[in-house]
Amino acid sequence: MLSFFLSDANFWFSCALGIVVALFVMEVVGTLMGVSLLGLADDQADFDAATGNLTALASWLSLDRLPLMVWLVILLTSFGIIGILTNLVSQSAIGGHFPVFVVVIVALIAALIITGRFGGMIARMLPKQESSATHSEQLVGTVGHITLGTARTNNPAEAKFLDAFDQPHYLLVEPIEPEDIFQQGDKVVLIKKQHHSWLATRYLEL
């Protein structure tokens, strides 16, 4: 059985499932250490309405309604399972495998369709957000603490925040004051959302 999964025909599919397992292990270990891999990628991807067809495609794939990491896990899992099942059926039926590139293309198309439909079901169960901009505005003024690394200007570190629904958010933050430095455990306040990180100021307890 192991040789079947490690065969050339199943290489890409086994890799996809291996990545999912690795992400799961990293998430479990990270959670125990107070760092969430899913939390670092918990925001939906933003798409400009002016991009037209690209926006429609992203919506059809549920890419604009799911956290990117969740979407990726669904896609990789679907791709891996479909590819391996296809090869398993072909080996039992005809005693061999279809060309690898054919199975990869078929599995990828099927995985995208499944991800779009299944992702839509999951998105309906997640807390609704009016928009990424509105969500960001709701986090402004939130107090959190640095969980990993040292934050300097242009060198963000990870921080944990709780929103109004007590949902944790792991965000990259850097000090808004150029001379300031945030160490692990320091309390900070979110000020402004940037493209890849947040500007924050030190929280001063009265």
Instruction: Write out pLDDT tens, residues 102-129.
Output: 999 999 999 999 988 887 787 677 655 4
pLDDT (0 to 100) of residue 9: 86
Task: Tell how far CA 87 is from the center of its chain.
Answer: 29
Q: Is the pTM of this model over 0.95?
A: no
Instruction: Reply yes or no on whether the pLDDT at 44 is more than 60.
Output: no
Instruction: Write out pLDDT tens, residues 141-200.
Output: 999 999 888 999 989 999 998 888 777 888 899 999 999 999 999 999 999 998 888 999
Instruction: Write out pLDDT tens, residues 58-117.
Output: 667 777 667 778 888 999 999 999 999 999 999 888 888 889 999 999 999 999 999 888
Domains of the chain with CATH codes: 2-125 (no CATH), 132-202 (2.40.50.140)
Positive or negative, the CA dihedral 87, 91, 96, 98 is negative
Which letter does DSSP use for residue 157 in this model? E
Residue 89: phi and psi, rounded to 5, are -65, -45
Q: What distance in Å separates the CA atoms of residue 60 and residue 68, rounded to the nearest whole number?
A: 15
Q: Could you tell me if 199 and 177 are in contact, meaning their C-beta atoms sit under 8 angstroms apart?
A: no
